[in-house]
C-alpha cells in the first residue's frame, strides 16, 4: 500500500491537558511499571494488565489485559522515540495483525503541566476508528486520573 493510500485511511486525534510535567506523562507511556497502572478500558480487570516494552527505535512492545471477560493483546514496533516529547509506534491487535495502524503521541510543556496530542492513523475503516476513539477516550481518562 502506498503512503498516499495509508494517509487517506481514517484517523483520529485526541488532545488532553495534564497537570503533570512532560517527563511524568512520557514515563506513563514508556515505563511498563507505570503503564500497567492506567492502561486499558474502564472495564479492565484489576491486575490483568501486562506490558513488555523495548523502548528504542525498532524495539517492540506488547501489552495484554483482560476486560469484559475476554483476553486482549496489542503490540507493535517503535518508529520514533524522543524522550519526554514524542513516541511513534505501530499498533496491531493480536486478533487482527493484518490491520496495523500508527500511533503518534506528542507531549509539550504547557504552563505548569503538559499538552498531549494523541494521533492514531491508518485505520482499516471508519468502524475501527470509531471503536478506537471510544477506547482511547477511556484510556486517556484513566491516564488523567493516574497522573493527578
Give the model's confidence band at 80: pLDDT under 50 very low, under 70 low, under 90 confident, else very high: very high
Question: How many percent of the chain have pLDDT more than 70?
Answer: 97
Question: How many percent of the chain have pLDDT more than 90?
Answer: 91
pTM, two decimals, is: 0.93
| pLDDT (mean) for 4-24 | 91
CA–CA–CA angle 57, 59, 63 (5° rounding): 125
Report pLDDT for 6: 66
Report pLDDT for 139: 94
List, in order, residues 6 or more apart from 104 with CB less than 8 Å away.
80, 86, 87, 88, 117, 118, 119, 120, 121
For 57-69, the pLDDT digits (tens) are 999 999 999 999 9
For 99-147, the pLDDT digits (tens) are 999 999 999 999 999 999 999 999 999 999 999 999 999 999 999 999 9
Average pLDDT, the chain: 95
- Domain 3-147 has what CATH class? alpha beta
* Cβ 94 vs Cβ 74: under 8 Å: yes
Amino acid at each position: 500500500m502506498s503512503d498516499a493510500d495509508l494517509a487517506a485511511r481514517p484517523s483520529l486525534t485526541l488532545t488532553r491537558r495534564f497537570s503533570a510535567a512532560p517527563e511524568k506523562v512520557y514515563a506513563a507511556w514508556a515505563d511498563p511499571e507505570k503503564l500497567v497502572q492506567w492502561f486499558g478500558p474502564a472495564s479492565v480487570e484489576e491486575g490483568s494488565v501486562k506490558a513488555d516494552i523495548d523502548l528504542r527505535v525498532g524495539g517492540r512492545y506488547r501489552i495484554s489485559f483482560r476486560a469484559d471477560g475476554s483476553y486482549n493483546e496489542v503490540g507493535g514496533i517503535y518508529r520514533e522515540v524522543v524522550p519526554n516529547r514524542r513516541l511513534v509506534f505501530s499498533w496491531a491487535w493480536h486478533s487482527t495483525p493484518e490491520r496495523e495502524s500508527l500511533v503518534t503521541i506528542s507531549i509539550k510543556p504547557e504552563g505548569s503541566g503538559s499538552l498531549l496530542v494523541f494521533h492514531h492513523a491508518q485505520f482499516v475503516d471508519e468502524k475501527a476508528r470509531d471503536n478506537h476513539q471510544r477506547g482511547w477516550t477511556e484510556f486517556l481518562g484513566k491516564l488523567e486520573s493516574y497522573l493527578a
